[in-house]
Chain A
Amino acid sequence: MKGAISLKVSLPKIPDIELVAIEGLERLAHHLGIADEKIGEARVLVTEAIINALEHSGEDNPLVKVEFTMTKQELIILIRDYGKGFEPSSVEDPDIRGKMGTKDKRGWGLKLMKTMSDDFRIESNDHGTRITIKKLLS
């Protein structure tokens, strides 16, 4: 992409490590002169993608690779884990009414990523999962 800047980072599973990626995202945006409010939804996407990958990879010591490619117009987020993978079509969208009265209040990550992004792709097999998210910034 013309005028794009990129950032790649590998994240181990330690508390709040997703904030490192958020910090990087904010610095890229600042460098390109993108207003903070334009990347608010990107913050949610990055946070959910990373915690999802770290939590569900199935590895003892998971490592998640994150790559941002940003222009003034759009952000591409790649999230890669090397875990056991899963069948995306087997994950049902959660519904708040179905959560009420039950102990399980979690499971929102994929729904949020699919709904808040401008394009969302997921590839998963026995060797891990790769999520590609596009978010328009203008």
Chain B
Amino acid sequence: MEQQFTLTSEVRNDCLVITTSGYVNNVGGEKIAQEFTRHFEKGTKKVIVNLAQSKVVNSIGMSFLIDIIDQLNDAGGKMVFTNLDPAVDKMLTIMGLFQFAGKGKTVEDAVALLAIEK
């Protein structure tokens, strides 16, 4: 079971796409937040978090993502999650994240969703 956290990022159509692999715990959440901040400071307000390779997440890791969503809301931006494991999807639903963030089946879906945002 390989759970070492890593992430990659790219910018597609003005959207920052962060793709994670491994366990999203406090360390993983903080790394996502650092990557977000690096782009947010340059004006990026649309963020896609692709969790296809992260089947195990915890609520502490997700608390970092809530903080990102909070900053994006204040700035008129948006986050969209993609490729969610059903259990992670349910977890984020219970936490209420989809009241403030979107959900797409794939990164392409998320890019299309964010293209219609201001």
Q: Which residues of A contact B (CB under 8 A)?
A: 15-16, 18-19, 22-23, 26, 37, 40-41, 43-44, 47-48, 51, 94-97, 99-101, 105-106, 108-109, 111-112, 115-116
Contact = CB atoms under 8 A, between A and B. Distances in A.
Given A105-B63, A108-B62, A44 B91 contact: yes
B7 interface: no
Contact of A43 (B56, B62, B66): B56
B1 interface: yes
Interface stretch (B42-50, B93-101, B109-117): B93-101
A19 B63 contact: no
B59 A97 contact: no
A7 to B, nearest CB: 15
A96 B1 contact: no
Please classify the interface of chain B as helix (H, G, I), strand (E, B), loop, or mixed, using the class held by over half of its residues.
helix
B87 interface: yes
A19 B23 contact: yes
A106 B63 CA distance: 6
B58 A105 contact: no
B99 A97 contact: yes
B39 interface: no
Contact of B60 (A51, A99, A100): A51
A115 B1 CA distance: 27
Contact of A16 (B25, B57, B88, B97): B25
Contacts of A116: 90-91, 94
